[in-house]
Amino acid sequence: MEVAHIYPFSMRNLKESSSTDPSSIWNVLRVFWSQERVNAWYNAVFSSGTEVVNNLMCLAPSVHKYHERGYFAIEPKEISDDKRRLKVKFFWLRQYKHSNQVNLLRTPLTSEGLDQGPNRVKMYNVETNKKICSGDEIFLKTNDPDRLPLPDWRLLEMLWILQRVAAMSGVAESRNDFYKDDGDEWG
């Protein structure tokens, strides 16, 4: 298993310099989403920092690579009252070609039912030996929600939204050198 950040460690210093700075990622987000939603995301990140349990997920090494490259997204759906079980839905993300212009009125293609991601990657549920498909529900669990909390809902929501935006914009383009290991994640 590998530990994956929900909000990237590399972005830990992107705090707001001012509420009027147009280049602040947080102000750019406020152009598209409500002040309350973006403030909730910001507070989820910067109230405790990036190196906290509720900003981490354990993933198999290959799944961690798929996550880094934006091959899939998970949508938070429901958390139990006792905070011990979190239901998410898994979706492979269709890859789009990068373009300087994006038609905001175009409805994105659905990935419902897809059983593989970019470059024909597939994942399997090791308990059932079945392919993981878009739309499948996955349950994250903890026995100790105080000491080992589940991922923060606000961070999962932010990741769910922004990974889909990245895929639609072509930023999360599939790479042909996926299996090349030169020590440089994005080079």
Ordered per-residue pLDDT tens for the chain, 187 residues: 999 999 988 888 887 756 677 778 898 898 899 999 999 999 999 988 889 999 999 999 999 999 988 899 999 999 999 999 999 999 999 877 766 776 667 666 667 778 888 889 999 998 899 999 999 999 999 999 999 999 999 999 999 998 888 887 766 554 545 445 544 443 3
pLDDT at 4: 92
Cβ contact 141:84 at 8 Å = yes
* Token pair recorded at residue 183: 């020590």
- In a domain, residue 17? The reply is no
Distances (CA, A) of 126 to 73, 115, 132, 165: 19, 15, 10, 30
- In a domain, residue 175? The reply is no
For the chain, the domain total comes to 1
User: What is the domain range of residue 48?
Assistant: 2-8+25-99+109-169
- In a domain, residue 51? The reply is yes
- In a domain, residue 131? The reply is yes
Give, for 168, the enclosing helix (H) or strand (E).
helix 153-169
pLDDT at 94: 82
pLDDT at 187: 35
- In a domain, residue 182? The reply is no
Alpha-carbon distance of 170 to 112, in angstroms, equals 19
- In a domain, residue 186? The reply is no
- In a domain, residue 180? The reply is no
The single-letter code of the amino acid at 37 is R
- In a domain, residue 153? The reply is yes
CB atoms within 10 A of CB 139: 11
pLDDT at 118: 86
